[in-house]
Amino acid sequence: MESARRPSDRHGWRNAGYGMLGVVVLLVVAIGVCEAIEWPFLRHPLEARLSKILDRPVAFGDQFGVRLFGSVRAHTDSMTIGPAPANGPTLLDDAGKPRDFMHADSVKLALSYRALFDQWRGTGQPLEVKLLDVDGLELNLKRNADGHANWQFGAAEPATSASLPQLPRFERLNVRNGEVRIVDEPLQITADAQVATREGTAEAAAIAASGASTPQVRVATVGSAPLAGSAPIAASGGTATPARQPLAIDDSTPGLQVDGKGTYRKAPLVIQLRSSGVLPLAASDAAALSVPLWLDVNAGKTHIRVDGTATDLLHFGGMDATFVASGSSLAAVGDALGVTLPTTAKFATHGRLRKNGAVWEAGIAALAIGSSRLNGDFMFDTAPDVPVLTGKLGGARLALADLGPAFGAAPPDAAASASNAKPGKVIPDRTFDIPSLKAMNADVGVKLAVLDLGTKDLEPFEPLEGRITLQDGVLNLKELLARTSAGEVQGGIGLDSRPAVPKWNADLRWSGIQLDRFLKARDIAVRKDARGDKPSIGYISGALGGNAQLKGEGNSSAKLLASLDGTARAWVRDGTVSHLLVEAAGVDVAQALGVFVKGDDKLPMQCALAQFDLVNGKVMPEVFVIDTTDTTMLIDGDLSLATETLDLRMTAHPHDTSPLALRTPVKVTGTFDDPHIRPEAGPLVKRGVAAAALSLINPLASLLALVDFKQKERDVCTAAVSHVDGAAAAGVKTGPATAPPLPASSPRAKLAPPRKGA
């Protein structure tokens, strides 16, 4: 009986298997039929699913079809992706209504499942599109000042405020009539561009991609006259780079054509982009063909032209091109590229530009900024969360005045009346572009042949070397070494932009600078030599040394200097000073007249040194002594970098007797913009009263009031050198200088103990 059931059981299982196979066959047939008729009933579910993934409404036209095997491949008579969610970045039309992110007519679209999954996960990567073929396309792109953009879908993190828009990546794109509107608040760009692409014929594509020159591929101006600024641009120290006209594209020539107009930083913006060749808009294959590329941008006074090849025209992948650029400041170009560059004078440059993956390489053959002549090689890696700039900056000459605008000064070529300082002030008060320091990190070596200090009265530094680093908003000029006049300057300067009020610091040391060379002013009254010639010598000589340790805070030159705290010291070894200057500073008429008639000579300086304390921008000479064999000069008082006021007092004490002197302290008061130098009135009044009284006895006796008698000697140098840190170690002498006794009330009386027997 059990055996009788077995055939029936097998028959039941067989029937079940046939049934399941039939279901599978029916299912396969059904799927095949649906795939053949392109799943028309999936239109609304697909709209809903894409709307959820992209976090905005998606709608297809009535004529709709989709295939799902391998990838999502859809076609429709129209497709619309709506505006960003509420409170998101959205462009408005003339009536104030939100514009759709995208609208396209006669659409063929292909997306991989991986691309859809990445968007659903919110990776932040641009949407990768395998195919987009449209007769008409309208894109409306908007990025707010906080970095949120409507081309970021789902849960993507906002872009940084300095990064460029990341448009979708296309493997294949055909747009016969496109319009792209963009408003980018971080870059201050508003533009409207007409876009067209053509794949052309296979023959023309092969010819264009190979770069061969045949009658089918012609190079000519497009439409109307070429853009303004298409003439050759002469870059620094080199020949003009020949201008190349835009590539013409007709129906048989494959390529991309973009014509855009708008504003950049409220200045007119005009963009032309041309390519001729196969259109690999998102090529990642190393063997991808390169196609010709021509880009011309005019943004206000800035002009950029790029001429070369690329394998990825939307993202400039595999680019290898020459470039020419000019404009009013490097900062404008840096803002557009997401690179932190200083505000400068007018510039012109040319070189070579390459891109490999996320890394840009720029070889600056020549860069002229005002009168500066620079060059360099740089790499800019955009792959890290914070892009990184590395490289080397060199050049034959850097004029300090050409970098003045970065610190708030007016450009060298500005009108004489132009100033970034407040009325009645000379220190610039324009705010620095501090936030841009957080847009990238950097490590750049610097080696300049000459640093011109911007005046003919000072010898330049030759050379200047250092290293500029920028890490997490902290900027440092490290390993500074600048040589001039047989001496050198070493140290570093730092800026921390992370606090609400940026903090600055400087630690500088200088030594061995020969003042007779460094100071270019020549002594016109110098005594003639034995041959009757006047030697070319300066008013002061000796080896200048010293150091400074300073700290401050502020986002402008005026605020920074107004907050400075620290100490600065300076001294001169083995120095001399003009005898005429010493007598003039002491208001000694007789001796100054005698020196002028005989010819100026040099007085050895027993010591010359100073130490300054800085507190909240007030500079106070704690020690300021110049002691010669003829006279000791002391300077006290203060000057304020905060209020730009002067209150200094110079007192000269003779070491000999003069028959005709109006000896009195000299006051320097007023402001940096309007200083006043005048003798102190009190001592002159006393001499005048004495002369008037003596004249009652005998008119000639009044001259006795003008006699300046030799004063008691006092050793000033020993005390001064011991008080100024580093002076003794630097070899400043402490010999038997002579000077008058200081009054007990003088803040420097402690520096001058009485000499034995005085």
pLDDT at 598 over 70: no
What string of DSSP letters covers 455-476?
-TTBPPBS-EEEEEEEETTEEE
Q: How many domains does the chain have?
A: 2
With residue 22 as reference, give the H or E element that holds it: helix 2-37
Count, residues in the chain: 758
Select the more confidently predicted residue: 588 or 48. 48
Q: Does a structural domain hold residue 589?
A: yes
Inside any domain, residue 21: no
Q: For residue 248, is pLDDT > 60?
A: no
Task: Assess if residue 64 is contained within a domain.
Answer: yes
Show which of 187, 217, 242 is a domain's final residue: 187
Those residues whose C-beta lies under 8 Å from the C-beta of residue 223, and which sit 6 or more positions away, are: none
Count of Cβ atoms closer than 10 Å to residue 385 Cβ: 6
Separation of alpha carbons 404 and 454, rounded Å: 10
Residue 731 lies in a domain: yes
| Residue 445 included in any domain | no
544 pairs with which residues across the strands? 513, 572
How far is 632 from 626, CA to CA, in rounded Å?
Answer: 6
| Of 187, 222, 252, the domain-final residue | 187
pTM exceeds cut of 0.85: no
Domain assignment present for residue 56? The answer is yes
Structure tokens, 639: 């000057």
Euclidean distance between CA atoms 627 and 719, whole angstroms: 12
What b/e string do you get for 539-567 counting C-beta neighbours within 10 Å, with b at 16 or more?
bbbbbbbbbbbbebbbbbbbbbbbbbebe
Confidence of residue 215 (pLDDT cuts 50, 70, 90): very low
Please indicate, yes or no, if residue 495 is contained in any of the structural domains: yes
For residue 388, give both structure tokens: 């990184």
**Mean model confidence pLDDT for the chain:** 76
- What phi and psi, each to the nearest 5 degrees, are found at residue 71? -160, 170
For the chain, give the percent of residues with pLDDT over 90.
28
* Rounded-to-integer distance, Cα 562 and Cα 421, Å: 14
Q: Residue 288, SS3?
A: coil
What pLDDT, in 10s, does the model give residues 533-558? 677 888 889 999 999 999 999 988 88
Q: Which residues constitute the domain of residue 141?
A: 43-187
Q: Is residue 287 part of a domain?
A: no
Alpha-carbon span 289 to 278, nearest angstrom: 8
The answer to whether the beta carbons of residues 624 and 610 sit under 8 Å apart is yes
Q: Which pLDDT does position 735 carry in this prediction?
A: 54
The enclosing H or E element of 684 equals: helix 681-697
Of the residues 131, 153, 187, which one is the last residue of a structural domain?
187
> pLDDT grade, residue 394 (50/70/90)?
very high
* Chain segment 467-486, per-residue pLDDT in tens: 999 999 899 999 999 999 99
Which residues, including other chains, have CB under 8 Å from residue 568's CB and lie 6 or more apart?
546, 547, 548, 549, 550, 611, 612, 614
Give the C-alpha separation, 277 to 260, whole Å.
21
Block residue for tokens 């290898």: 320
> What token pair was written down for 725?
């840190």
